[in-house]
């Protein structure tokens, strides 16, 4: 199976993140009995999720939560990331009935997540253009990061890119996907993915010009 994205544990076992719903519709609802489930097997996981098995749905969430959340955060920004990640996961669970296995499960999940994020950006831009939501222009609140100096500069510049450029930059440079995978996710040709990335990096160099020049100066 093609490894998608940077290496990370297959399932995040962080107990803090394994939150069980407390609502009566979610927590106490009788779900189909969980059969023997090999969560490493995509086909078995998908089949169990389709049957509505709670443990399988949760396993799928924990396997992909970082990738989906990281992807949508870097496309839509921190302020809207929760909403869009929820939307992406709902599309994933509700769309599993249509998943035929023509592509890798990870690629399919990325595609739905990118689509959810780009749709959100498009809707947000329309609202801004219509003058209905001036607040949307405000910068996203800062989130805690491990390396604020480096990541802040880079992520701030990424927010200046057009959404399409941003998506391919995130998929290729941050998530580490190949152009073939990017093209499949974005629904475009491989050449288009390469061309978009080239333009995205050129724009990033332009946006980060002074910082890059300082780093060059510091090295020499």
Partner 1 sequence: MNCHDVERWSTAYVDGELDDRRASALRGHLRICDGCRARIEDESRLLAAAQELPPVDPPPALWSSIEQRIADAEIADAERSRAWLWWAAVRARALPVAVGALAVAVVVVWLWRRPGSPAPQTAATEPTAVTPAAGEQPAVLSFDAARRAEAARAEARYSKALAELRQLAADERGTMSADEAAELDTQMRALEQQANGERARLAASRSDGATLAPRELDRLHAAYRGQVALLEGAITGGVNR
Minimum distance, C-beta of residue 35 to partner 1, in the bound complex (Å):
20
Closest to partner 1 by CB, 114 or 169: 169
Minimum distance, C-beta of residue 133 to partner 1, in the bound complex (Å):
22
> Which residues have a Cβ under 8 Å from the Cβ of 160 and sit 6 or more positions away?
203, 207
Closest to partner 1 by CB, 13 or 36: 13
Side-chain-facing half-sphere of 187: CA atoms under 13 Å: 8
Closest to partner 1 by CB, 118 or 169: 169
Residues making up the chain, counted from first to last: 220
Buried b (16+ CB within 10 A) or exposed e, 64-93: bbebbbbbbbbbbbeebbeebbebbbebbe
Rounded distance between C-alpha atoms, residue 59 and residue 18, angstroms:
9
Q: What single-letter DSSP state applies at residue 174?
A: I
Minimum distance, C-beta of residue 208 to partner 1, in the bound complex (Å):
7
Closest to partner 1 by CB, 79 or 128: 79
Q: Which residues bind partner 1 (CB under 8 A)?
A: 6, 8, 16-23, 25-26, 29, 57-58, 61, 65-66, 69-70, 73-74, 81-82, 85-86, 89-90, 93-94, 97-98, 143, 145-147, 150-151, 154-155, 169, 173-174, 176, 194, 197-198, 201, 204-205, 208, 212, 215-216
Minimum distance, C-beta of residue 129 to partner 1, in the bound complex (Å):
28
Closest to partner 1 by CB, 95 or 187: 95
Minimum distance, C-beta of residue 142 to partner 1, in the bound complex (Å):
13
Q: Answer yes or no: are the C-beta atoms of 167 and 114 closer than 8 Å.
A: yes
Cβ-based neighbour number of residue 98 at 10 Å: 7
Buried b (16+ CB within 10 A) or exposed e, 124-138: beeeeeeeeeeeeee
């Amino acid at each position: 199976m093609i490894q998608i994205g940077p290496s990370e544990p297959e399932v995040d076992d962080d107990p803090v993140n394994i939150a069980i719903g407390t609502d009566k519709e979610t927590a106490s609802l009788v779900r189909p009995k969980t059969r023997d489930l090999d969560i490493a097997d995509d086909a078995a996981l998908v089949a169990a999720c389709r049957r509505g098995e709670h443990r399988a749905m949760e396993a799928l969430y924990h396997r992909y939560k970082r990738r989906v959340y990281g992807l949508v955060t870097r496309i839509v920004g921190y302020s809207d990331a929760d909403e869009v990640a929820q939307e992406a996961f709902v599309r994933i669970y509700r769309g599993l009935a249509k998943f035929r296995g023509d592509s890798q499960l990870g690629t399919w999940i990325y595609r739905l997540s990118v689509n959810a994020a780009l749709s959100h950006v498009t809707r947000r831009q329309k609202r801004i253009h219509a003058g209905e939501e001036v607040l949307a222009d405000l910068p996203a609140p800062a989130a805690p990061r491990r390396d604020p100096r480096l990541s802040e500069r880079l992520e701030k510049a990424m927010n200046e890119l057009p959404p399409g450029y941003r998506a391919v930059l995130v998929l290729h440079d941050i998530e580490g996907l190949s152009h073939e995978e990017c093209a499949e996710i974005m629904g475009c040709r491989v050449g288009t993915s390469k061309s978009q990335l080239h333009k995205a990096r050129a724009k990033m160099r332009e946006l980060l010009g002074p910082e890059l020049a300082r780093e060059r100066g510091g090295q020499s």
